[in-house]
Amino acid sequence: MKIACTMAPGRGDVDLLMTGLARTLQADGLRVCGTVQINSERPDDGPCDMDVQVLPDGPVIRISQSLGKASRGCRLDPDALESAVGLVGARLAAGADVLIINKFGKHEAEGRGFRDLIAEAIGREIPVLVGLNRLNAPAFQEFSGGLAVELPARAADLAAWIGEAVAGQDGRRSVRIKPSPQTVISAAPASVNGRGAA
């Protein structure tokens, strides 16, 4: 099973990391499938707008709803998320070297969202990298059977894991991926299970 997760303490850090990593992988010639999240601050100081870019080349889909500045409810637009899932599914069916999912979130924890596509990619031996937060870590551990690799939120570590995971696919002997300096986030390794990342 080729699945890994990463977490970072700062708000939006994993999103920036995954976006930079996806660009690096594409520049290195890998067929990258999935989504990366783009957060945009709002001029009214309300919660940021959340968009996902469907990899490799769009479209960008707004997945947040504007519920008002004082709103505390979930802002995720489930219909928009499912639109992104459908587009990623079509790209995955066309062939991919790696699947990147910006977040294994509440929908995935409840059996919806990208969950089935992640399982499909694993079944096809396509490496999967997901962003994760502590709230959904137990559900992710259960989903992955505790077999997911926990990676520090550092571009070099993520790129090295993907390089090893795709080696041997389509006759490849090795893949060396060098992340750009812009994709490095300085953060202590986070852990899904409290033991620290390997």
Q: Quick: pLDDT tens for 170-192.
A: 655 445 666 654 443 333 334 44
Read off the tokens for 170: 């389509």
Read off the tokens for 24: 């690096």
Q: What is the CATH number of domain 3-183?
A: 3.40.50.300
- Domain residue spans in the chain? 3-183
What pLDDT was estimated at residue 4? 98
Task: Give the mean model confidence (pLDDT) for residues 160-169.
Answer: 88
Q: Convert the pLDDT of each residue in 99-148 to its tens digit.
A: 999 999 999 999 999 999 999 999 999 999 999 999 999 999 999 999 99
End-to-end, the C-alpha distance of the chain in Å comes to: 17
pTM: 0.82
What pLDDT was estimated at residue 177? 63
Cβ atoms 30, 98 nearer than 8 A: yes
What pLDDT was estimated at residue 68? 58
Angle at the Cα of 57 from the Cα atoms of 9 and 185, rounded to 5 degrees: 20
Q: How far apart, in whole angstroms, are the C-alpha atoms of residue 66 and residue 60?
A: 17
Q: How far apart, in whole angstroms, are the C-alpha atoms of residue 174 and residue 163?
A: 7
Q: Convert the pLDDT of each residue in 3-22 to its tens digit.
A: 999 998 877 799 999 999 99
Mean pLDDT of the chain: 83
Read off the tokens for 70: 């004082």
